[in-house]
Amino acid sequence: AESIKTMTAAAATSNTSSTGVGGPPPSSSSDDPNARYTFNDTALTALRKSSPWKDDPSYFTSTAISPSAVMKMMTHCHSGVEKGVKKGGNPIEVMGLLLGRPDPNTPKTLVVTDVFPLPIEGFETRVIADDGDVINHMIALGESLETTRKEKFMGWYHSHPFDVGIHSHCFLSQTDISTQLQWQRAEDPHGNPFLAIVVDPLRSLAKGHPELKAFRAYPPEYTNPIPNQCPDGSIIHEEQLRLEKWGSCSSAYYELEVEYFMSTGARNVLSLLNRNFLWMRALGSSAMCEKEARGRYPERVEKVAKKIGKLDPQSGSGGGGGDVPGGMMMGSHHRGRSKANSSGSGGAGGGTTASLEDKMGNKPPSSAEGGSSGIPKEENGSDELGKACQEVVEITTEKLVGNIAQMTKKDLFSHVASS
């Protein structure tokens, strides 16, 4: 919980966390830092009525998220990790709803002011949730908010609690795209554009800042005029790399830039805390020493060791394959993301990984076909070895940086004590 507070505070004081296809963050028509907390009812009603996003599949370019919304999302997603690990299994996927509105001052920005967790939990092979209970919960929550809040439910979030790898696990899978399109078709025409946010809780803990991304889906009839363009606007010609970073539906959605906003009063309080208290936490703690990081570190090392062990360093080709359990219904297709890094080598079982078929909606080629995406077996094996080496470098770098930080703190505090 302390780590979440620290990373959320850091994010809230920064301007932007990620860059989407829309380019640099838009500037508000007002320089007032409190502008996001208020809105003109008449202007908002006019914007909802005109609904300019109906004529432009990539109309929105950014989303602004409040610190409280970030904190609640991170806490909820982190609780799923803790709950699953405490039961001796894998981290649990969770889901919730976003409360907010489009911004009349910056019409291409969606403002998220609050979030509300839903009683839905995803395990490795299934989702434990009673549909009737979930629907009743959403109805009761919506009726309650109608009497106290002027915003509407305008999006949803869910977690991808997969082991830390080379790439972030923030992306939309085939099932996510289907869910998002259903929401957009139901809400967009009525002046309530819907947003999807994906959170990577384990990477957030490892990196020390919130790892989340916001997306909108293209209409099914839309065709991107730019070949091989990814949701973030970049161009990746290698199909396998696009698959690993963005899933099999990379051309079906796009990323919005994420920015955080904070009121003047909250910023002043946070400034006082940083100056008087939070600096001690930065010196007194290290991400490497967090309970979650210590618990996942041996698993990460074992996983990459298995990947390398299944590769022939002489020929660069993959070894034998192993069966990996499928993913969960809510995110069964998700878990193949981690598996994608080892698909050419047969992969390692266990953990939070699953088959590439479950995750991406594609059936992996048979061994007789050589490798994925038509890549010859030797080249694919060499590529897998390179990816495994990248993971080794990342794990080693995290460990070295953590050790250096600990040694620096020891020398600093020892010097202060002696003087």
Whether the model pTM is above 0.75: no
Question: How high does pLDDT run on average in the chain?
Answer: 74
Element at 159 (helix H, strand E): strand 152-159
Query: pLDDT tier at 147 (50, 70, 90 boundaries)?
Result: confident
What confidence score (pLDDT) does residue 193 get?
A: 96
Q: How sure is the predictor about 398, in pLDDT bands with cuts at 50, 70 and 90? A: confident
Q: Rounded distance, CA 6 to CA 10, Å?
A: 6
- Tens of pLDDT, residue by residue over 56-69, are 999 999 999 998 89
HSE-CB for 234 with a 13 A CA cutoff: 10
302-327 pLDDT, tens per residue? 888 888 888 765 544 444 443 333 33
Which pairing describes strands 212-217 and 253-260: parallel, antiparallel, or unpaired?
antiparallel
> Among candidates 303, 390, 312, 314, which has minimal Cα distance to 345?
312
Residue 20 has pLDDT above 60, yes or no: no
State how far the Cα of 178 lies from the Cα of 370, in Å rounded to an integer. 32
